Structure 1
Amino acid sequence: MALKQIDYGTAEHRQMVNLRYEILRKPLGLNFTQEELEKEKNDILIAAFEEEKMLGCCFLTHVDSNIVRLRQMAVQNNLQGKGIGASLMNFAENIARDRGYKTMMMHSRKTTCHFFEKQGYKIEGDEFIQLTIPHFRMIKKLR
């Protein structure tokens, strides 16, 4: 498995959008808007590949000089539980550290909080609804 940063607007980015749609949005009956996708131009796009096939992805969005936000983490349904997500998290955290960020935060779906807790993230605050489903804000100090 190869982990790498990918460029916005490329074939790999389109593959990333399709994976995120299939895993995260389609089950909720939602799609991406062009405005949402255009905001990704300044983000750090990360993906895991086996040859040309994307296995999983996520991206990092700058919040401030100390905080980066992990967003849109998705792994192919048939590959979940095989370490791809943990590898993506480790890779993303290393990139964030290299860029000087001290904290990574995210809005985790309630159903995936257990995965992020295993990666050292802590729930901060109360449950809230985002994109029609329960979420929690989660944070981790990067060392």
Structure 2
Amino acid sequence: MIAVEQIEMSHPFYKQEQDLRNRILLRPIGLPDHGWEMDDHKAWHFVAVEKDAVVGCVILVPLADRGAQLKQMAVETGNQSRGIGRMLVEALLTFAKTQRLQEIICHARDTAIPFYLKSGFEIYGEPFLEVSVPHHHMRIPL
């Protein structure tokens, strides 16, 4: 059974979260490990756990004006299409509402756009390159 937990950086699952993000998000596009952890200290961390192993993760970084940015969403390759990403987004949105946030934004890779659209996000603005990968601005009002 998969459970989503909110964790702090001091939690033992944080190291597994880092490893997952490095393997799924950074290494495939040639970025160095730990290259996108600059917001970790101020972010809320969510992990999907199955049998004491992190199989998915996402962070939510607070922004000005009662908003936040969803970042670093990753699910183990062999566990994709099992609803883990959906579980993470649902937990993140539920939490965001308890924090009285008004909007969540994200930078979605082209391949992730259908997932975010199904989760209620909308595309806005023009496409752009981030770390040499095509992305779109997406948001969901709360």
Q: TM-score, normalized by length of structure 1?
A: 0.93
Aligned to 2:94: 94
Q: How does 1:113-128 map to 2 (within 5 A)?
A: 113-128=113-128
- How far has the Cα of 1:131 moved from its partner? 1.0
Amino acid at match of 2:101: Y
CA distance in 2, matches of 1:140, 1:10: 29
- How far has the Cα of 1:110 moved from its partner? 1.0
| CA pair 78-60 structure 1, distance change in 2 beyond 3 A | same
Q: String of CA shifts for 1:52-94, please: whole Å, max 9, x gaps.
A: 1111000000112421100000000111111000010000001
CA distance in 1, matches of 2:39, 2:87: 25
- How far has the Cα of 1:51 moved from its partner? 2.2
Query: How many corresponding residue pairs?
Result: 141
CA distance in 2, matches of 1:60, 1:9: 17
- Please say if residues 17 and 54 of structure 2, whose CA atoms lie closer than 8 Å, have aligned partners that are also in contact: yes
- How far has the Cα of 1:32 moved from its partner? 3.8
Aligned to 1:60: 60
CA distance in 2, matches of 1:120, 1:39: 25
Give the number of the structure whose residues are more often helix, by fraction: 1
Q: Among all aligned residue pairs of Structure 1 and Structure 2, give the percentage whose two residues are the same amino acid.
A: 28
- How far has the Cα of 1:33 moved from its partner? 4.7
Secondary structure at 1:3 match in 2: strand
Aligned to 1:109: 109
Aligned to 1:130: 130
Amino acid at match of 2:111: T
- How far has the Cα of 1:2 moved from its partner? 1.1
Aligned to 1:13: 14
- Please say if residues 22 and 34 of structure 2, whose CA atoms lie closer than 8 Å, have aligned partners that are also in contact: no
CA distance in 2, matches of 1:11, 1:82: 24
Aligned to 2:32: 31
Report the RMSD for the aligned CA atoms in angstroms: 1.3
| CA pair 123-41 structure 1, distance change in 2 beyond 3 A | same
Q: Which runs of 4+ in 1 moved over 3 A?
A: none
Amino acid at match of 2:90: N
Aligned to 2:46: 46
CA distance in 2, matches of 1:91, 1:52: 19
CA distance in 2, matches of 1:32, 1:26: 7
- How far has the Cα of 1:12 moved from its partner? 1.1
- How far has the Cα of 1:104 moved from its partner? 0.7
